A and B are shown apart, each in its own frame.
Chain A
Amino acid sequence: MDASPQQHPPVEFETDPSRYRHWQVQYDGAIAKVLMRVDAAAGLRPGYELKLNSYDLGVDIELADVVRRLRFEHPEVRTVVVTSGHDNVFCAGANIFMLGSSTHAWKVNFCKFTNETRCEIEDATANSDQMYVAALNGTCAGGGYELALACAEIYLQDDGNSAVSLPEVPLLGVLPGTGGLTRVVDKRKVRRDRADIFCTTAEGVRGKRALQWGLVDAVFSRSRFEQEVAKKAKASAERKVDLKPGERVGVKLGPITPDRGENRRSYRHVTLSWDPAARTATITVKGPSEGDVKLVEQGGAAIHAAGDQLWALRAMRELDDALLWLRFNLLDTGLVLLRTEGDAARVIAHDRALFAARDHWFANEVLLHMARVLRRLDLTSRSFFALGDATDSAFAGCLLELALAADRFYLLDDEDVRVGLGPLNFGALPMSHGPSRLSVRLAADPNKVQELREQQELMGPEDADDAGLVTVRLDKIDWDDDTRVAIEERASMSPDALTGMEANLRFVGAENDTSKIFARLSAWQNWIFIRPNATGPEGALSLYGKPQRPHFDLNRV
C-alpha cells in the first residue's frame, strides 16, 4: 500500500458540485449549510477507507471547490454553517491510514493544500463577508477540529460524548498539521497551559470545559442543537455588513480544463511544460488582450458580465491549477521558470481599470482570488526563476508579481523590454504574512517603495535594475549561457536545503498567524514526519492500527 503518486494516475484538482462524493451544500437565502458526508469507499487512492468522516486529499479538493464557489457563485450567502451529515461524528480528521501509507512528499503537499483551504475559509470570513461557523454535531478530532478552528465560531453538541480534540501528539507522535496548535493559542487565545493539556489528551475536551477553556464558542444539548445553531446562523446572516455594491448575482465557475500534451498542459492563458531530464518546468502566462482591457475599462458591471471568462479570473484559475498539478505530480521538478507574454503597458492599463472597479463585489473577488493564487506560488516549495527573456515579455503589474514572488528575476537587457509597476503592486495582492512583494523585495529601503508608487511607469531594463526589481540583467550575448548555467546549478543542489532556504528568504518581515502556521508546518511537522519516532518502523504513525506498539528514541533533539 503506497499512496505515492508515481504508481497512480496524476491528481487533478478541477471538480464541480455534480462530481462531489463527500460534500453537499444546501442554500437557504443568506445561509448555506455545508454538509460533510464522506463516502468511506471513495478515497483518492486505494488502500484505506475514509471512515468516520475522515478525509484525504480528494475530500479536501472538494472542500476547496465548495469554498471558492461559495464566494463566486453565491454572493448572497452571509453565513456558512459547516456541519456533519453523519450521526455522532463531525469529522475524525485526516485519515491516519492514508497518512501512514503515504510518502513524505505526499503528506507534506497534502498538509500544505489543506492549510491553504483553511486559510481560504478565513479569507472569505475576513474579506468577503461570508462568515463560517462550525456546528460540531458529534466528535471532532484532529483535522476535524482544525477545520472548525478555521471557522469564525464553533458550536459543540453537549451530549456527554462529543469532544473536540487534537490527538496527534499522544496518539500518533506527530503534530496537528493544519494550523491547530497556532490557531488554538494565537487565534482563539486559549491559555497556553490549558492548550498543553488539551493537545496531550487524546480523548480531548467535552461540553462545559471546552466552552470554559475557549475551545468552542457555545455548547448546546443534543435535542436543541440544530435549532440553536439555526438561531445563531440566522442572527449571523442578519448581522450588519457593509456589502460592496454591484448586482449580487453569482458567477458560475466553468471548467478550465487544459489540453494535455506530452510533458505539457495548455490552458487558454497559461501553459505548463516540463523537461523530465532537466527536472525543470516552465509556466508561461499570457497577458490580457486589447479586448480584455477594453472590457475591464467599462467598469464593474461589464466585468461582472464577463464572469468566468474574465482574463484576470481565468488566467489566475489556470495558474492555480498548474501550480497544484505541479506540486503533486511533478515531484522531482525542482526549478520552475516563469515567463510572461504580452504587452507590459496593456497589463498596467488592465490593472488600473480592475483596481478602479474594486468596489464592485465581483471585481473585488477577482482581486482577492488573484492574491490567493499568488500566495500559493509563494508557498510552493520549488525554486522559481522568472525569465524576462523576450521583447514581448510582460512583467508588469499583476504579472510582475510573478517575478517578485520568484527567487530570482533574470531580465534581458534589450531596449524594447519593458517592466512596469501598477496599482496592484502596492498592497492589493499581499503575501500570506501581510506585506506586498515589492515592499518585501525592498525591505532595506521603504522610501524607495513610496518613490516607485508615485512614478508607476514602464521602465527599461536598466531603470528596473536600478529600482531593485531585477536580480540579474543580461545582454543577448550572455543570456543563453548564463541562464543555462544558473539553471543547471540550481538543479544540482539539495532539494531539501533549497526548500528550507527559499522558505526562509521569501518571507521577509514580521510574522502573522498564517505565516506562522506555514512556517511551523514546514519546520516542525515536516521534520517530525521524517523522524523514526513517527514514521520509522517502530514509529507511532507507522504502527497506528497495527498490533505492535511504538518505541521511541527518547533523546531530545
Chain B
Amino acid sequence: MVSNTVDLNAKIPNNVGLSDDVKLQRALEKWLPSYLEWWNDMGPSDFAQKNVYLRTAVSVDNDGWAHYDYVKMPDYRWGIFLNPRQEESLIRCGDDAGKAAWHEVPGEHRNALRRIIVTQADTEPASVEQQRLLGHTAPSLYDMRNLFQVNVEEGRHLWAMVYLLHKYFGRDGRDEADMLLERRSGDPDKPRILGAFNQPCDHWLSFFAFTMFTDRDGKYQLAALAQSGFDPLARTTEFMLTEEAHHLFVGETGMDRIVKRSAELQRLDPNGDVRNQGGIDFDLIQRTINYWYTYSLDLFGGEISSNAADFFATGLKGRYREDKYEEHRALGGTYRLPVVEDGRLSERDVPMRNAMNEVLRDAYVHDCERALRKWNRTLEEAGSPTRLALPSRRFHRHQGIYADHAFDPTGNLITKDQFEQRRHEWVLTPSDNDYLLSIMKASHEPGKFANWIAPPTRGIEGQPIDFEYVQLRD
C-alpha cells in the first residue's frame, strides 16, 4: 500500500515529473489502491503469486522501455510515459494544422477530449476482464506468459489514460478515472462502453482473434490519437503503440500457429477431418474471424459521423500516418461510400471529414488483409487446399449505417431471416464455444504445446521455446 509520495515515486516509473507534481501525486494516491483492488478482483485469476517472465517499461530510453525479468503480476511496475519530442509539437490536422500544439486542454475542446480519452481508456481494463480466466487453459507456458504480458500492459495503458484524466481534467477527470474501475465487461448494469469489449472471450481461439482484430482496432485508434494536437495525448499514445505491437504479434502469430497446426492435422487425418484429430477445423476458424473482425470494425464508429468530422477539424484526432498526407485539412474532398437506399445498395459521396472513421477503417482493413494473406501462405506451404478470407465490412455489423440491414459475408444485401438461417455457418455459435472449451486443456510443461496449436518459431527475448516463462511450481 502506498503511504507517501516517496513510495509512490519508487513504485511508478515515469517521465512526467511525478515527484514534483503534488496534484498528480494526490490523485494517484487515492486511485492506486482502487486500481490494485480492481486488479485483484478482475485481473488474471489465481496466478498472482507466480513469477512471470515479463517485459516492464522502466524508462523511455532504448534500453529502458523493454526490461525483461521475472515479476509477480501484482508487483508489476505500472509506469507513466510520454514519448520524448525533440522539436516543437504542432497540430497536425484540421483547421489549425501547422499551429503550435496544445500543452494544456483547450476549454473549447475539453469535453470532446475527455470523451475520446475515456472511451479509449475504458477498453484497456475491459480486455483484462474479458481474458481473466484464460490462464487456466493456456496451451503452453509461452502462451500463458504472452497473455499475462498483454494483461499487465493493458493495465498500464489504463494508467496512461488515467494520468491524462488526473493531470488535465480536474475533478471530472478524477470521477471518470474512478468510473473506469467501476464498469465491468459484460455486466448488464455497468457495461463497458464499446460493444466488442462486452463480448465473452472465454477460450484461446477468441483470445488470439481478439488480440489480432480487436487490439488492432486499438492500434489504429492510438495511431490516430498520436496525431492529436493535444500534445500529452499524442505522446502518451505514441508510447502505448510500442506495447500494442506485441499484443498484435501475439494475436497474429497465435492465429497463424493454429492455422498451421490445423493444416497438419488435416493432412494427418485420413478424411482430412481436423476435428477428428482434436484440432480446430477451418470453418470454425473462419467463423471466429468473421465474428471478431466484424465486432472490431464496429469500434471505428459510424461511417458518416459528425463527431469524426469535428475531431478531425479541431485537430484532436488525425488519420493513420497523418504525416504521410500532403494536405491536412481535408475540407474539399469526398469519400464514396456504399449505402443502402430504397432496399438496394448504391453509392453516396460523403464529405471527407465526415468519413474519417471510414478512412481509418480502410487502413485497418488493409492491415487485416495482409495478415490473412500471411495465414493463407502458411496454408499453402503446409499443402492445404483451404483458404481463409475476411468477410465484407458490411457483414454482421452492430454499429453504423449497415447495422440495420443484413448482409452475407461477401457483402450482398439479404433479408434478416436469410441471415438468421445461416448465422450458424457464418459466426461463432454456442456449440462452437462448447467444442473449443472441450479441447482447451492446459499445457504447463515447458516446451510443450496443446494439440490444437503449433509451437512458435522462436521464444521471447532470445530465450528458448522451452524456457520456463511462468514458474508455476512454488
A222 and B330 CA atoms in complex are apart in Å by 41
* CB atoms of B306 and A544 under 8 A apart: yes
* CB atoms of A160 and B353 under 8 A apart: no
Given the known A-B contacts A201-B111, A203-B111, A544-B306, are A549 and B313 also in contact in the complex, defined by CB atoms under 8 Å?
A: yes
Shortest CB distance A229–B (Å): 15
Answer whether residue B183 sits at the interface, using C-beta atoms and an 8 A cutoff. yes
* CB atoms of A548 and B193 under 8 A apart: no
A residues 198-217 in Cβ contact with B at 8 Å = 201-203
* CB atoms of B188 and A223 under 8 A apart: yes
* CB atoms of A160 and B95 under 8 A apart: no
A170 and B310 CA atoms in complex are apart in Å by 13
Q: With a CB–CB cut-off of 8 A, which chain A residues contact B351? A: 546-547
Most buried by A among B183, B306, B352: B306
A residues 508-557 in Cβ contact with B at 8 Å = 544-549
Shortest CB distance A35–B (Å): 18
* CB atoms of A546 and B309 under 8 A apart: yes
* CB atoms of B306 and A160 under 8 A apart: no
Shortest CB distance A193–B (Å): 15
* CB atoms of B190 and A159 under 8 A apart: yes
Q: With a CB–CB cut-off of 8 A, which chain A residues contact B183? A: 160
Q: With a CB–CB cut-off of 8 A, which chain B residues contact A202? A: 111
A158 and B352 CA atoms in complex are apart in Å by 36
Q: With a CB–CB cut-off of 8 A, which chain A residues contact B330? A: 547
CB closest residue in chain A, given B334: A547
Answer whether residue A161 sits at the interface, using C-beta atoms and an 8 A cutoff. yes
Answer whether residue B409 sits at the interface, using C-beta atoms and an 8 A cutoff. no
Q: Mark A158-177, 1 if CB is under 8 A from B, else 0.
A: 11110000000010000000
Answer whether residue B115 sits at the interface, using C-beta atoms and an 8 A cutoff. yes
* CB atoms of B314 and A549 under 8 A apart: yes
CB closest residue in chain A, given B342: A41
Q: With a CB–CB cut-off of 8 A, which chain A residues contact B115? A: 203
Q: With a CB–CB cut-off of 8 A, which chain B residues contact A158? A: 189
Give the dominant DSSP class at A's interface: loop
Answer whether residue A221 sits at the interface, using C-beta atoms and an 8 A cutoff. yes
Q: With a CB–CB cut-off of 8 A, which chain B residues contact A544? A: 306
Shortest CB distance A335–B (Å): 42
* CB atoms of A222 and B354 under 8 A apart: no
* CB atoms of A159 and B306 under 8 A apart: no
B residues 305-342 in Cβ contact with A at 8 Å = 306, 309-310, 313-314, 330-331
CB closest residue in chain A, given B115: A203
* CB atoms of B353 and A547 under 8 A apart: yes
Q: With a CB–CB cut-off of 8 A, which chain B residues contact A203? A: 111, 115
Q: With a CB–CB cut-off of 8 A, which chain A residues contact B193? A: 160-161
Q: Mark A133-171, 1 if CB is under 8 A from B, else 0.
A: 000000000000000000000000011110000000010
CB closest residue in chain A, given B192: A160
* CB atoms of A548 and B188 under 8 A apart: no
* CB atoms of B182 and A160 under 8 A apart: yes
A159 and B188 CA atoms in complex are apart in Å by 8
CB closest residue in chain A, given B329: A547
Q: Mark B146-182, 1 if CB is under 8 A from A, else 0.
A: 0000000000000000000000000000000001001
Given the known A-B contacts A160-B182, A202-B111, A203-B111, are A549 and B310 also in contact in the complex, defined by CB atoms under 8 Å?
A: yes
A547 and B331 CA atoms in complex are apart in Å by 7
Answer whether residue B191 sits at the interface, using C-beta atoms and an 8 A cutoff. yes
Q: With a CB–CB cut-off of 8 A, which chain B residues contact A223? A: 188-189
Shortest CB distance A219–B (Å): 11
CB closest residue in chain B, given A49: B401
B residues 79-123 in Cβ contact with A at 8 Å = 95, 111, 115
A203 and B307 CA atoms in complex are apart in Å by 12
Most buried by A among B111, B352, B354: B111
Q: Mark B350-364, 1 if CB is under 8 A from A, else 0.
A: 011110000000000
Shortest CB distance A91–B (Å): 18
A221 and B191 CA atoms in complex are apart in Å by 11
* CB atoms of B309 and A160 under 8 A apart: no
Q: With a CB–CB cut-off of 8 A, which chain B residues contact A161? A: 191, 193
CB closest residue in chain B, given A545: B306
A403 and B429 CA atoms in complex are apart in Å by 72
A161 and B111 CA atoms in complex are apart in Å by 15
Q: With a CB–CB cut-off of 8 A, which chain B residues contact A224? A: 189
* CB atoms of B111 and A548 under 8 A apart: no
* CB atoms of B352 and A547 under 8 A apart: yes
A222 and B190 CA atoms in complex are apart in Å by 8
* CB atoms of A160 and B179 under 8 A apart: yes
A170 and B115 CA atoms in complex are apart in Å by 15
Shortest CB distance B117–A (Å): 13
Most buried by A among B309, B331, B351, B352: B309
Given the known A-B contacts A545-B354, A546-B351, A547-B352, are A160 and B191 also in contact in the complex, defined by CB atoms under 8 Å?
A: yes
Q: With a CB–CB cut-off of 8 A, which chain A residues contact B310? A: 549
A221 and B331 CA atoms in complex are apart in Å by 43
CB closest residue in chain A, given B118: A203
* CB atoms of A222 and B309 under 8 A apart: no
Q: With a CB–CB cut-off of 8 A, which chain B residues contact A201? A: 111
Shortest CB distance A441–B (Å): 50
* CB atoms of B191 and A548 under 8 A apart: no
CB closest residue in chain A, given B310: A549
A465 and B309 CA atoms in complex are apart in Å by 65
* CB atoms of A222 and B189 under 8 A apart: yes
Shortest CB distance B401–A (Å): 10
Shortest CB distance A208–B (Å): 10
CB closest residue in chain B, given A220: B189
A26 and B189 CA atoms in complex are apart in Å by 26
* CB atoms of A160 and B313 under 8 A apart: no
B residues 191-207 in Cβ contact with A at 8 Å = 191, 193
Shortest CB distance B109–A (Å): 11
Q: With a CB–CB cut-off of 8 A, which chain A residues contact B188? A: 222-223
Shortest CB distance B21–A (Å): 27
A556 and B228 CA atoms in complex are apart in Å by 32
A residues 221-236 in Cβ contact with B at 8 Å = 221-224
A544 and B354 CA atoms in complex are apart in Å by 11
Shortest CB distance A246–B (Å): 45
CB closest residue in chain A, given B332: A547
Shortest CB distance A102–B (Å): 18
Shortest CB distance A533–B (Å): 15
CB closest residue in chain A, given B96: A549
A472 and B314 CA atoms in complex are apart in Å by 62
A residues 353-375 in Cβ contact with B at 8 Å = none
Q: With a CB–CB cut-off of 8 A, which chain A residues contact B314? A: 549
Q: With a CB–CB cut-off of 8 A, which chain A residues contact B182? A: 160
A159 and B115 CA atoms in complex are apart in Å by 16
* CB atoms of B313 and A159 under 8 A apart: no
Q: With a CB–CB cut-off of 8 A, which chain B residues contact A545? A: 306, 309, 354
Given the known A-B contacts A160-B182, A201-B111, A202-B111, are A547 and B189 also in contact in the complex, defined by CB atoms under 8 Å?
A: no
Shortest CB distance A137–B (Å): 13
CB closest residue in chain B, given A551: B95
A203 and B330 CA atoms in complex are apart in Å by 27
Shortest CB distance A168–B (Å): 14
Q: With a CB–CB cut-off of 8 A, which chain B residues contact A159? A: 189-191
Shortest CB distance B2–A (Å): 27
Contacts A/B (CB < 8 Å), 30 sampled: A158-B189, A159-B189, A159-B190, A159-B191, A160-B179, A160-B182, A160-B183, A160-B191, A161-B193, A170-B111, A201-B111, A202-B111, A203-B111, A203-B115, A221-B189, A222-B188, A223-B189, A224-B189, A544-B306, A545-B309, A545-B354, A546-B306, A546-B309, A546-B354, A547-B330, A547-B331, A547-B353, A547-B354, A548-B313, A549-B310
Q: Which B residues fall within an 8 A CB radius of A?
A: 95, 111, 115, 179, 182-183, 188-191, 193, 306, 309-310, 313-314, 330-331, 351-354
Q: A222-B188, A547-B351 are in contact. List 17 more A-B contacts (CB 8 A).
A: A158-B189, A159-B191, A160-B182, A201-B111, A202-B111, A221-B189, A222-B189, A544-B306, A545-B306, A545-B309, A546-B306, A546-B309, A546-B351, A548-B313, A548-B331, A549-B95, A549-B313
Q: Which A residues fall within an 8 A CB radius of B?
A: 158-161, 170, 201-203, 221-224, 544-549
Minimum-distance CB pairs A-B, first 3: A547-B353, A221-B189, A547-B351
